[in-house]
Structure 1
Amino acid sequence: MALTSFDAIQLKVQDRNGEIRILNIPAEAEYNVMEVLKTFGYKMRATCGGMGLCADCHCKVLEGSDDLPDPTDQELETLDEIPDAAFNSRLSCQIKPGQHLNGVYLHLMPTDYY
């Protein structure tokens, strides 16, 4: 069943302290997941401005990775430089919102500054 503009996309997020929240994102949201997380109060430094270069928004997809669009070449290059990157690592700045996010579970990875 397709989401309508009145439905919310449910995204489950485990923050850097282990707290888990379910976020209801408007179906018409246009920003990348990093920007959406910032609107919900998650701290994201994003020194590259969402270009997929700095990995400040590194997360691991614990559930629902099969539904997400494939990572871009730039995202893969950046993830290659992260020592704790794994097969399920993504950069939240490179994930656009949409129905594919409904039911996804992300774990925000610790950084040097948080």
Structure 2
Amino acid sequence: MELTVKNRNDEVRVLDVPANAEYNVMEILKTFGYKMRATCGGMGLCADCHCKILNGYDQLNQITEQELETLDEIPDAAFNSRLACQIKPGEHLNGVFLHLSGKDHF
């Protein structure tokens, strides 16, 4: 399946993600070399993996209360914001286009 990612430098890359990937989107991005600190370990608390979904928002798993609370604390969060660590893997990622918005700590 194809997941399109625009990084923090506005470079766009199409990732060929195995349909049977078992990791959340943050972990998938890390395997493709995207750097994010993820200080909360994927619990949806730190917002290091904040992204904006440019296409396919409605295809994603439902947003959790914890994710909403964290996004509420981010000044540049928008209606299409998500935390990559809270987006589950699966066929629904095919065609999704996301823009990494969190801070690059590397």
Instruction: Identify the TM-score tier after normalising by the shorter chain.
Output: over 0.9
2:94 corresponds to: 102
1:4 corresponds to: none
The alignment's TM-score, normalised by the length of structure 2, stands at: 0.96
2:22 corresponds to: 30
5 Å-filtered alignment, 1:26-105, equals 26-105=18-97
- Percent sequence identity is 74
Amino acid at match of 2:63: P
Amino acid at match of 1:74: Q
Amino acid at match of 1:24: D
CA distance in 1, matches of 2:84, 2:105: 17
| Aligned-residue CA RMSD (Å) | 1.0
Which consecutive residues of structure 1, in runs of 5 or more, have no partner in the other structure? Answer: 1-8
Between structure 1 and structure 2, the one with the greater Rg is: 1
Moved over 4 A (4+): none
2:12 corresponds to: 20
The alignment's TM-score, normalised by the length of structure 1, stands at: 0.90
Which consecutive residues of structure 2, in runs of 5 or more, have no partner in the other structure? Answer: none
Paired residue total:
106
Q: Which gives a bigger RCO, structure 1 or 2 (Cα 8 Å, sep 6+)?
A: 2
